[in-house]
Structures are given as C-alpha cells and as structure tokens.
Amino acid sequence: MGLCLGLQLAVIEFSRNVCGIKDATSREFDSKAKNPVIDLMEEQKELMEKKNYGGTMRLGAWDCDIKKGTIASKAYKTDKISERHRHRYEVNNQYRDLLVSKGLTIAGINSKKDLVEIIELKDHPFFVAVQFHPELKSKPLTPHPLFKEFIKVAGK
C-alpha cells in the first residue's frame, strides 16, 4: 500500500523495471529529467518558475471516479469518492498509455483534471497506491476503507 509519495515511487519503479524506462524519475528529484513519469501539472509549471511554491500544492478534497472490479471499488463499495490531498507532483499523463499497456491498472481518476488518483497491480493480492492521504479520514474505531481492506487481505 502506497500513500502519496508511495504512489509516485511505485510508478517510477514500474516505469523503470516493467516499462524499461531506466531513467524514469520525478521532476521533484531531477528538475532536468528526460523521463519525468512524475511531474507537475501543466498549470503549475509557470508558478514553480516564479518560485510560487504554495500555489503549486494540490490541497483539500478532490473527487475520484473508481474503476469497477478493482480492489479500490471493493474497499469503497462505490464508484465515486472524495479524498484529501496535500502534494504538488502527479503521474505524468504522457506516460499513462504505456503504463497501462504494460499492466498497471489505473483504478481511480479525477475526471475534472484527468489526474491519476489510484493505481493497482492486477495479479497481486493487495498492491494499491493512492495519490491522496487516507490517513486523514481514518480513526481507530472507524478505519478508512482502504486500511480496512488491506488488513482484511493481510489477515488471509
């Protein structure tokens, strides 16, 4: 289970070792990256150039459409959710078709901005990574649906 940066690192790892992009990385780690599979949203790039870092954060609740038949859909028991974010780097949509063609499941999308929210690996009992922070909506007696599903699978 990967949260926020965990999703980004999973995409980098998948890009390098499954897609064969040996220099895949995040623009956060290498500002001159040739293959930034993780990058800023287009509208934020100009803000970064002006060093307006606060304006480049994706904050607050964002909607997500969940793909049917995924671990996320099983956990949430719905196809539309809203989750809280606090980050500035995203999956670079220029690489999405390649990632999917090599077996990465895009399990959740923010359709308004066309941003990847959830990824999964199909043939894994629980490989789920999310761009948001489910821990912000989790409590000891009312765990977040993804945590609850993770524990359920881990117990098997």
At residue 60, the pLDDT reads 80
Q: Residue 89 belongs to a domain with what CATH number?
A: 3.40.50.880
Count of domains observed in the chain: 1
Range of the domain at 116: 2-155
Q: What is the mean pLDDT of residues 3-21?
A: 97
pLDDT tens for residues 50-78? 565 555 566 789 999 999 999 999 999 99
pTM of the model: 0.91
Buried/exposed code over 9-24 (b: 16+ C-beta within 10 A; e: otherwise): ebbbebbbeebebeeb
Determine if residue 20 is left, alpha or beta; phi over 0 gives left, psi from -120 to 50 gives alpha, anything else beta: left
Q: What is the CA radius of gyration of the chain?
A: 16
Residues recognised as catalytic? 4, 133, 135
Instruction: Give Cα separations from 125 to 63, 106, 140, 155 (angstroms).
Output: 26, 16, 24, 11
pLDDT tens for residues 84-141? 988 788 999 999 999 999 999 999 999 999 999 999 998 899 999 999 999 999 999 9
Instruction: Give Cα separations from 129 to 46, 52, 120 (angstroms).
Output: 28, 28, 6
